[in-house]
Structure 1
Amino acid sequence: MSTTTTTTGERSTRTGFGTRLSQAMAARGPLCVGIDPHVGLLHRWDLPDDARGVREFSLRVVEAVAGQVAAVKPQSAFFERYGSAGMAALEETIAACRAAGLLCVVDAKRGDIGSTMDGYADAFLGKDSGFAGDAVTLSPYLGFETLRPAIEAALATGRGVFVLALTSNPEGAEVQHALVDGVPVAAVIARHAAAANVAEIEAGAPLGSVGLVVGATIGSAARDLGVDLAAVRGPLLAPGVGAQGGGAAQIRDAFAGALGAVLPSSSRDILRAGPSVDDLRAAARAINAELRDAVGQVPAG
């Protein structure tokens, strides 16, 4: 599918996010680097605990990993805490990713109803919004259908969404493992995502643009609950690699049958290598190589 670039820098027609992500993973490995500029890391990098520090931190990560990994994932909360200046830093980070050809997943976990959800969709997926990366994370726990404005906006602009499904935090089980008419909530969410991807898959896309967030450390939970991750036919964002305990063995266990769709995310193990751009790049390359092995990917070229 061809793309046309407008004078604003946004593409009026874009190859779907699932296809672009699949291409990026094949070319540069499956790793997504989390950009989490929390206070401890700012201090470690000798940066100020303010919007200036967050901006420098984030742009340095983008410089280090552009062309080396599939995507980055800036955590919106760490920018929001500095108010409008922090949000300006997030906007600049997203723009830097775009300029570098680096896919950007904005980790905002938005979810609401009616006109409020319309507003979130415009903010994080609208074609002219500075906060719109290539995808955004969403929370479905007011009902999956409430996410429809965001899904429609994503598909209309060639972007994607990642919907929380099976997270690694222990508290998630009380909602995600609960039964609705005998079916676990996580399985219901996965079925909705699969349905949202049908049109793109039937049109020949390798992956649809509606993905799930599934923790890298969930173990056998997907199998135990009957959540068919392979049937989603969309990308599976897997946070928790590295410091949180997720590694090659855990990914192979949790995502058996769907490894080609997995976008593993690591932050602390890479970010602690900073502030040197060269050291950040080396850390990302090493983890990316391990993850290629985990998903059975042969390096391109």
Structure 2
Amino acid sequence: MSAVETFGSRLGAAILQRGRLCVGIDPHSYLLEQWGLADTAAGAREFSLRVLDAAAGHAAAVKPQIAFYERFGAAGYTVLEEVLVAAKQRELLSIADVKRGDVGTSVQAYGDAWLRPGSPLESDAMTISVFQGFGSIVHPLQYTIDSGKGLFLLAATSNPEARDIQRARVGPEGVTVAAHIVNEAQGWNERNRAVHPTEQGDIGSVGVVLGATLDLEEYGVSIAAQRKPALPVLAPGFGHQGAALSDAVRLFGSLTRATLVSESRSVLSAGPGAVASAVRERAELVKREVAL
């Protein structure tokens, strides 16, 4: 039986081939209106497929924000299933931005829904909350080994409301919550690589979400340490939220190597006639500005 290609390996190949841009697919009500589309599941479908066409060949990944589909109920999930299949057909990595988190059989079911091969909602990776402890996500973690899937753990998010919790210090060593989550993700990647050395590449399959609008030192997250395998980072905050691409290497240091620049409104607001050129131009800018 041949080894399953890891998410980290696929991520590395996508970055090498197409750069670091991750296009968020967020069918907001106001964007659907701006695009001349109905604020319905059908409108979200048309919007999403156009964004996928624009991203194909230029972005490493796409990140559907699941809430904007859930608001349409069953019809929204039907659209989402089609979007995830269409992303795969266009050779785009799909990161389901679901931010799920629970324990036991409940979190196992979340993993089955978003990461199990053959699931109607199968994605390459998902965002996940570890507020209930790193050990609570053991079942989704197993998919990174058995099925070549990826996880992005919420660690230092760009919303200011999270500041007090994520900078709080815990444990005997007094590390921040954000740093603890980063360390847990890196520790998993290192242990997995030690057990399966021939199957693991230079990039791990468990990453973290780190906001580009933050001073990571304030959150206790080291950007100087060279991590092996490299830690995947999903970095929202560029573009519309104000972070400059020219600051990416300064912001993320050694973590830049496996960082995905996540942008949504900065390209989606271009509208249906210009979204393809907006994605293409942004992808080229990311390649120039975020280079190691």
What is the TM-score when the length of structure 1 is the normalising length? 0.90
Match of 1:200 in 2: 193
1:191 to 173, 180, 183: 183
For 2:241 and 2:193, locate their aligned partners in 1 and report how far apart those are by CA, in whole Å.
33
Match of 2:101 in 1: 111
Match of 2:13 in 1: 23
For 1:108 and 1:154, locate their aligned partners in 2 and report how far apart those are by CA, in whole Å.
17
CA contact (8 A) 1:217 1:250 kept: no
Relative to structure 1, the CA distance from residue 146 to residue 195 in structure 2 (aligned partners, 3 Å threshold; closer, same or farther) is same
Relative to structure 1, the CA distance from residue 225 to residue 47 in structure 2 (aligned partners, 3 Å threshold; closer, same or farther) is closer
- Say whether 1:294 aligns with 2:289: yes
- Say whether 1:280 aligns with 2:275: yes
Match of 2:129 in 1: 139
- Say whether 1:33 aligns with 2:23: yes
CA contact (8 A) 1:260 1:295 kept: no
What is the TM-score when the length of structure 2 is the normalising length? 0.92
Match of 2:209 in 1: 213
1:145 counterpart SS class: helix
State the superposition RMSD in angstroms: 1.7
Match of 1:8 in 2: none
- Give the letter for the 2:202 counterpart: P
Task: Tell me the CA shift for residue 287 of structure 1.
Answer: 1.3
- Give the letter for the 2:221 counterpart: V
CA contact (8 A) 1:135 1:160 kept: yes
Match of 1:86 in 2: 76
CA contact (8 A) 1:248 1:293 kept: no
- Give the letter for the 2:127 counterpart: T
Match of 2:218 in 1: 224
- Give the letter for the 1:191 counterpart: N
* Percent identity for Structure 1 against Structure 2: 42
Match of 1:7 in 2: none
Relative to structure 1, the CA distance from residue 261 to residue 286 in structure 2 (aligned partners, 3 Å threshold; closer, same or farther) is same
For 2:93 and 2:61, locate their aligned partners in 1 and report how far apart those are by CA, in whole Å.
5
Match of 1:265 in 2: 262
Match of 2:237 in 1: 240
Q: Matched residue pairs, number? A: 283
- Give the letter for the 1:248 counterpart: L
- Give the letter for the 2:285 counterpart: E
Task: Tell me the CA shift for residue 258 of structure 1.
Answer: 1.8
1:275 counterpart SS class: coil
For 1:102 and 1:68, locate their aligned partners in 2 and report how far apart those are by CA, in whole Å.
9
For 1:217 and 1:130, locate their aligned partners in 2 and report how far apart those are by CA, in whole Å.
34
For 1:104 and 1:171, locate their aligned partners in 2 and report how far apart those are by CA, in whole Å.
27
For 1:200 and 1:19, locate their aligned partners in 2 and report how far apart those are by CA, in whole Å.
12
CA contact (8 A) 2:230 2:257 kept: no
Task: Tell me the CA shift for residue 200 of structure 1.
Answer: 3.4
CA contact (8 A) 2:7 2:205 kept: yes
1:224 counterpart SS class: coil
- Give the letter for the 1:284 counterpart: V
CA contact (8 A) 2:231 2:255 kept: no
- Give the letter for the 1:49 counterpart: D
1:105 counterpart SS class: strand
Task: Tell me the CA shift for residue 294 of structure 1.
Answer: 2.7
Question: Which ranges in structure 2 are unaligned for 5 or more consecutive residues?
Answer: none
1:172 to 162, 185, 190: 162
Task: Tell me the CA shift for residue 148 of structure 1.
Answer: 1.3
Q: Which shows bigger deviation, 69-78 or 253-262?
A: 253-262
For 2:53 and 2:287, locate their aligned partners in 1 and report how far apart those are by CA, in whole Å.
22
Question: Which ranges in structure 1 are unaligned for 5 or more consecutive residues?
Answer: 4-12
Relative to structure 1, the CA distance from residue 45 to residue 225 in structure 2 (aligned partners, 3 Å threshold; closer, same or farther) is closer
Task: Tell me the CA shift for residue 252 of structure 1.
Answer: 2.3
For 2:41 and 2:111, locate their aligned partners in 1 and report how far apart those are by CA, in whole Å.
25
Match of 1:10 in 2: none
